[in-house]
Structure 1
Amino acid sequence: MAWQLHYTSARSAEHSGFQFTAVSPGLPPGAEAAVSPYLGYLPPPDAPASPGAAELARFPVAFGYDVIGERRLLVRSRYLGRDYSGRFGNFLAHAVVADPAELEGLRPIEFWRAPFWADSPGADLPGADLPLLEYPPPGDAFDPEALGRWLAALDHDPYSRLAALVDAVCTTSERLVLVSPDTEETARWIAVLSYSLPVPRAALLSFTTYTADPVACPHRVAGTTPDVWASLRTDQTAHRLDAPAPEHGPSRYAAAVTDAWRALDLEGLDGLAELAELGEDAFEGAAVLTALCLGEAADEEAQALALPLVRHPALPAWVWTRLPMDDLGFDLAAAVNRHCPEDVLARAAGERCARLVLATPALRSRTGDFALDDPAELVSGLGRQLAGAPSLPALAELTVVAERLGVPAVPETTRRCAFLLVNPRGDRAAVAPQDVVTAVETVAGTARRALLAGVVDGLERGGALLRREVLTGLVCDRLAGLAGECPLRRAPEVALHLLRSLAARHGVLGEPTLRLAEALPHNSAAEGLLAARDVPGEHDPQAAARTLERIGGALSGPAVQAVADALTGRSPAFRAALVSASAERPRDLLLHRWMETARQRSERFELVGVALRAPGTPLDGWVREQLRKRFTLLQLETYFRDDQKLRAALRELRE
């Protein structure tokens, strides 16, 4: 539950002056006393002493947040000027006291422009009731993507400043003072900082967008104005948001955060924060683990920081599948081997440890730190003949060992043995997916081409069930990366499986998927994906429609959906022209995808604009469904207020 309080200067039967003029019923005992220290407001020293209405609107808004006991406090204070007696100095402090569950999953700064805030006491009289708020709705001022674009457009190296702010919050307990004449800018920086932290950590970060006493205020992050800061005598440092950022050597976590913002990688930012939630001091380890999952190099000293996270029972499942086993140091690979719940990946980590032990004499005493199905077999298998290799990795290792010993490996033998290991006869189990990855990364040159030929041939002739079992995402990525060495033209079913896998994980229009498609000439599914790639780049709707019709093959459905996603940001006029020029099947696929994914209000309104410009499609029914809500109709009429033709079409569609 969330309770509201209004605090301002008013006249009452008991006394006159500053007091609580309205509260929600059932306010917890002691709440007014706990809230009171947060309710003051002093104007900046350079503000006009007797402001008019236009000047009042420019006074800074003090929006603050803190944790009080077991509850959360949001306060928004606005300067009102005169009070009931005509004296200047009045303000309205609107406070919300909420149970933590009411704000769960939200950053407090998201309530910056929440719809429930009052700008004036209105008709409130002392003792009046304010409604209880159940799950207070946040505002819509701080969309992370918009914040990222705003950050990129700033001067004075905003990413260096962000790194300094993140490190200050994560590694110190000092108060951060943000100085700006514009509280909106201060609020944006607090929002960027909040989105750079795990949600639980952001929920404990107290802040205010404006205070006239940033040195003594109770908040961890304090916003203030230049005239306030200039009037203070203090040794405390402040971040002047309109000045160059201070020199700062960022921590790994701060560097990872700024890299994510710079690339506008919001998914990566969320993943980084998710890992940082796993411990009080997990920030640096989270950065290292994220870097590894992105395929970036990390030495063993850095990997040691990630060890507590890999051993944590709540480690997100996505980490296991993204860890590059071939790049892990021994300690991290051993931790993955011991703690990964996926048998295939744990076995892959164990095999990584085994390879490191075999290649590094200093590690040969640490065979007890990881588990293998049969480590003795792996060691003794090095002396076997190629034709008797028990596994695909053993075949690859034996090939390498034979080359090192000067015993040339016969490519045809390697190809034939690889085929039999992938597509075995009798009751022998099929090759494990990680075995394929290990094998192709172990060998190189002619030997790898021969091994790949056997693997691909075995999978092509082994049937769909075998391909589903062996061609995991990791295997598909490796084979796609070696498409120039794989005989995929002679294995259309394997090629299609690889395309499906990459499209599902990297996106139909993702670089890995399209790179594989380019390596598969005369493949209908690949040609359809390449056609889908070209549609979003067309500026002429007619040309885009023609290109859209070239999308065919087994992946035509997902390809058209990907095109729809890529075109979501185009103008309603362009999309409507494309819809009008397209054949029925691709048109309907586009429309159903847009209807399915239009979750934000702005996206739905733009889609209504498409429907009004291109009537007579399945969109008409979708729009009528939207118009059943009277409030939505009023919003749409306002949205199209400058286009009478579209407003008329909207009314006609409703009727």
Structure 2
Amino acid sequence: MAWQFHYTSARSATRSGFQFTAVSPDPPPGAEADISPYLGYRPPPDAPPSPSDAELADLPVALGYDVVNGRALLVRSRYLGKDYSGRFGNFLAHAVLADPAELEGYRPIEFWQAPFWHEAPAASLPALHDPLPGDAFDPDSLGHWLAALPDPYPLLTTLLDALTTGQERIILVSPDAGEIARWIAVLSYSLPVTAAAALSFTTYSADPVASPHRLVGTTPDTWASLRTDHPRHVLPPGRSGETRPGTGEGGPFARAVAACWRERDLEGLDALAELAELNAGGYEAAAVLLAICRGGEVPPARRAAAVRLLGEPHVPGWVWSRLDPRDLDFDVAAAVHRHSPVKDQVALAAYHCARLAINIPDLRPRLGEITVSAPDDLAPALERKLASAETLGALAGLTSVARELGVQVLGPQAQRTAFYLVNPRPGEERDPLEPGDLVEAVRGVADGWRPPLLAGICDGLERGGAALRRDLLDSATCDVLADVVEDAPMDRCPEVALHLLRSLTDRHGVHGEPTVALARRLPGNTAAAGLLAAEGVPDERDPKEAARALGQVSGALATHTVRSVADRLKRRSPVFRASLLKLLDRGLRDRLIHRWIETADSRGDRFELVGVALRAPGTPLDAWVRTQTAKKLTLLQLEAYFRDDQSLRAALRELRG
């Protein structure tokens, strides 16, 4: 549903001046307060002080858009001139507040000339269902409009790069709000629909530097009246007397989109948007992957972005049909091999990767099939190579060579080398390791070699100290190690195990599925045992069993575990929570209480917590309840809340004193 609001200067039964004069029935609670900061209009400084009807029509129309409390807000403001008293300065702000589904599939700028906008205040406003956009803009007509401008593509590249790299507010300056709207439309059609739906804008503002919108239009006279060094872009690009805005330098996505507009390649625009939609913020990857699909030259450093994008779910089928593995470099071909749904293409990519790996030593971790008549004869040479490997990646690569050649596992040497690569001998000069080195090694190690490799890595991390673990065990590395933890000697590396648990806890929560899965694979670990002991507490029916389980929580993650349990217990009834508090020791009880007080953000949370306090008196909740009921209104609300339980009402009065 979408609700309409009219805001203007008028005389009503209760007041005179600017106010909401018409509102659709049953608007969301607090809607007027939410949209009020977006309601306002001042004409440009050079506007006539007493404009005629014709002059009023020439003043800029401000169409603004933003997302407010999860709803889409469109506001169209235009200058009306006189108000009810005959004084100039009046305007009409027509706002539409819509549930996201109402605008789904549209770019907000498409509502520039929507049929539901009013030119004058209305006596009543219906709610809108499936509001229709206007027909002012479409990609084809915008492409022709751009082509008629004096080389607009450098500016377009600059603006797109600013939008997709998170730069500050972007200000467009033109005497024509319609031209600004067209530029906003071009930028909106250059982005995925979801990105366009997140882009706030206004076609005109009298104070553009302070506007709440990301993309802001204003007039030349307004801009000239301001004292600011904020950058701006003057429209149209290349206007006489103005420095041409935009250098045309930008990222791959911005340049690719500008090229599509220049060539009026609407299919390319759709393809870029579709690929960018696969991964939020993956604009560079979209441009690179489309270039590869179209046979363009792509620098090696940029291909990794396309590889990551190919790993996303729901890659369009046309991507795979345009990728011939025989024309690809190793990394992209390997991604096709891993992710393509086309069986023949997968096989062809595997063959191509194997052929490349056979000929390029750096690709040995992905070595293809080789037949060796006497593989054990290579064991001494491979052992020397293992001992002299300079990186974990090289070490893992050598294990692949050994596996593919059929050489017997040389685990002890691999373990020793891995240990000293992670934790070098005193005085030994080595290039510093990166987290990705560990990931590469674990992922690249051959079957049967993972336990000795992990033993060396984990022993090195354990004995290398906290600083080394902090530097090397980033989130990606922790995820990789967690996946293979059964092959690692965590029983003798408790600090490494704790680091993995902390990492997963920070990102997934104490009882998030990945954290719990890791804890279950760490038998004998105190922190893991404490975490698992409390896992079922929030769903336990018997408060005694819940208290018993909580009492077993210990170890380095005890504080995090108790906080997690407290948060999940908030969905349980006050009766259960009160019963549980009565069974806990004082320290554990008070930790739960303090967390509940800390996270009681809504009135419902607070009232339920009062119910807990009244059923379990004699805790720190008593003082908190007194504070809450210090306000008479809150006390009255609580008495109404407990109206069906006279004993609780009496307890509330007694506690308040």
1:292–1:324 Cα contact (<8 Å) kept: no
Counterpart residue number, 2:532: none
Distance in 1, Cα, partners of 2:55 & 2:365: 76
Q: Deviations over 1:541-565 (max 9, x none)?
A: xxxxxxxxxxxxxxxxxxxxxxxxx
2:141 is equivalent to residue 146 of structure 1 = yes
1:295–1:324 Cα contact (<8 Å) kept: no
2:154–2:246 Cα contact (<8 Å) kept: yes
Letter in 2 for 1:234: T
2:125 is equivalent to residue 130 of structure 1 = yes
Letter in 1 for 2:138: D
Gaps of 5+ in 1: 369-374, 380-655
Q: Deviations over 1:558-598 (max 9, x none)?
A: xxxxxxxxxxxxxxxxxxxxxxxxxxxxxxxxxxxxxxxxx
CA positional deviation for 1:361: 4.2
Counterpart residue number, 1:269: 269
* CA spacing shift, 1:378–1:52, aligned 2, 3 Å: farther
Taking the TM superposition and a 5 Å limit, the aligned residue runs for 1:372-451 are: 375-376=369-370
2:161 is equivalent to residue 160 of structure 1 = no
Taking the TM superposition and a 5 Å limit, the aligned residue runs for 1:454-533 are: none
CA positional deviation for 1:279: 2.0
2:228 is equivalent to residue 229 of structure 1 = no
Distance in 2, Cα, partners of 1:90 & 1:105: 35
Distance in 1, Cα, partners of 2:78 & 2:209: 21
Taking the TM superposition and a 5 Å limit, the aligned residue runs for 1:343-382 are: 343-367=343-367, 375-376=369-370
- Pick from 131, 144, 165: which aligns with 1:171? 165
Distance in 1, Cα, partners of 2:370 & 2:161: 48
Distance in 1, Cα, partners of 2:67 & 2:290: 30
SS of the aligned residue for 2:321 comes to helix
Taking the TM superposition and a 5 Å limit, the aligned residue runs for 1:61-100 are: 61-100=61-100
CA positional deviation for 1:325: 1.9
2:206 is equivalent to residue 212 of structure 1 = yes
Q: Deviations over 1:245-300 (max 9, x none)?
A: 23242110111101111111112111101111222331111111000111212232
Counterpart residue number, 1:401: none
CA positional deviation for 1:180: 0.2
CA positional deviation for 1:376: 4.7
CA positional deviation for 1:150: 0.4
Counterpart residue number, 2:336: 336
2:175 is equivalent to residue 185 of structure 1 = no
- Pick from 234, 237, 246: which aligns with 1:240? 234
SS of the aligned residue for 2:47 comes to coil
Distance in 2, Cα, partners of 1:219 & 1:180: 17
Distance in 2, Cα, partners of 1:72 & 1:362: 52
How well do the aligned residues superpose, as a CA RMSD in angstroms?
Answer: 1.7
CA positional deviation for 1:365: 4.3
CA positional deviation for 1:57: 0.5
CA positional deviation for 1:35: 0.7
Counterpart residue number, 2:251: 251
Q: Deviations over 1:398-454 (max 9, x none)?
A: xxxxxxxxxxxxxxxxxxxxxxxxxxxxxxxxxxxxxxxxxxxxxxxxxxxxxxxxx
2:195 is equivalent to residue 198 of structure 1 = no
2:358–2:367 Cα contact (<8 Å) kept: no
Distance in 1, Cα, partners of 2:341 & 2:226: 57
Letter in 1 for 2:147: A
2:157–2:246 Cα contact (<8 Å) kept: no
Counterpart residue number, 2:418: none
Distance in 1, Cα, partners of 2:312 & 2:159: 28
* CA spacing shift, 1:216–1:376, aligned 2, 3 Å: same
Counterpart residue number, 1:312: 312
2:58 is equivalent to residue 27 of structure 1 = no
* CA spacing shift, 1:72–1:148, aligned 2, 3 Å: same
Distance in 1, Cα, partners of 2:12 & 2:162: 46
SS of the aligned residue for 2:229 comes to coil
Distance in 2, Cα, partners of 1:73 & 1:365: 53
CA positional deviation for 1:24: 0.5
Distance in 1, Cα, partners of 2:15 & 2:328: 71
* CA spacing shift, 1:181–1:209, aligned 2, 3 Å: same
Distance in 1, Cα, partners of 2:167 & 2:100: 23
Letter in 2 for 1:135: D
Taking the TM superposition and a 5 Å limit, the aligned residue runs for 1:535-550 are: none
CA positional deviation for 1:207: 0.2
Distance in 2, Cα, partners of 1:378 & 1:144: 61
Q: Deviations over 1:208-246 (max 9, x none)?
A: 000000010100000000000000011100001134223
CA positional deviation for 1:354: 2.4
CA positional deviation for 1:203: 0.4
CA positional deviation for 1:39: 0.8
Percent of paired sites with the same residue: 63
CA positional deviation for 1:85: 0.8
Distance in 2, Cα, partners of 1:4 & 1:118: 10
Q: Return the TM-score normalized by structure 1.
A: 0.55
Counterpart residue number, 2:392: none
CA positional deviation for 1:90: 0.7
Letter in 1 for 2:316: P
Distance in 2, Cα, partners of 1:143 & 1:343: 39
2:14 is equivalent to residue 14 of structure 1 = yes
Distance in 2, Cα, partners of 1:110 & 1:254: 22
Taking the TM superposition and a 5 Å limit, the aligned residue runs for 1:560-579 are: none
2:256–2:287 Cα contact (<8 Å) kept: yes
Counterpart residue number, 1:297: 297
Distance in 1, Cα, partners of 2:371 & 2:350: 14
Gaps of 5+ in 2: 374-657
2:80–2:90 Cα contact (<8 Å) kept: yes
Deviates most, 338-347 or 158-167: 338-347
Counterpart residue number, 2:117: 117
1:297–1:327 Cα contact (<8 Å) kept: no
1:163–1:258 Cα contact (<8 Å) kept: yes
Letter in 2 for 1:101: A
CA positional deviation for 1:340: 1.2
Distance in 1, Cα, partners of 2:30 & 2:362: 65
1:299–1:329 Cα contact (<8 Å) kept: no
Q: Return the TM-score normalized by structure 2.
A: 0.55
CA positional deviation for 1:338: 1.1
CA positional deviation for 1:194: 0.4
Counterpart residue number, 1:44: 44
